[in-house]
Amino acid sequence: MAFLKSNQVKVNKTLIAENMRLEHIFSITFNGTLYALLCWYSNQTAPSSPVEKSTDPIDRQHVAFLSECIDSCQPSLKFKLEATFIPPEVE
């Protein structure tokens, strides 16, 4: 996260190729311990190639970090969408 935060301008530019309008990344601390759990929400205007196929140096660093952190032996969390609220002018 420190890398992404310190390269904010470059990271924002990578979003263009991903048709990304908005991306939020969240972390969680449970019982005083920060877990390597990242949950992100994104809003795209169109489908794009997987970030794993990007040649952008920022994306490559991001993918390398994710590869180090994700434990594929652990089940991923699946969230159920309960509702969507969009102002009429955005919809």
Q: What is the mean pLDDT of residues 26-45?
A: 71
> Can you tell me which residue has the tokens 């420190």?
2
- Domain map (residue ranges) of the chain: 2-69
The helix (H) or strand (E) run that includes residue 61 is helix 57-69
What type of residue sits at position 10? Answer: K
**SS3 label, residue 64:** helix
Does 37 score more than 60 pLDDT?
no
Whole-number pLDDT of residue 57? 92
Q: What is the mean pLDDT of residues 35-40?
A: 58
Mark residue 31 as left, alpha or beta (left: phi above 0; alpha: psi -120 to 50; beta: remaining). left
% the chain with pLDDT above 70: 85
62 against 85, higher pLDDT = 62
Query: d(Cα 91, Cα 85) in Å, to the nearest integer?
Result: 9
Which residues pair with residue 35 across a beta bridge? 28
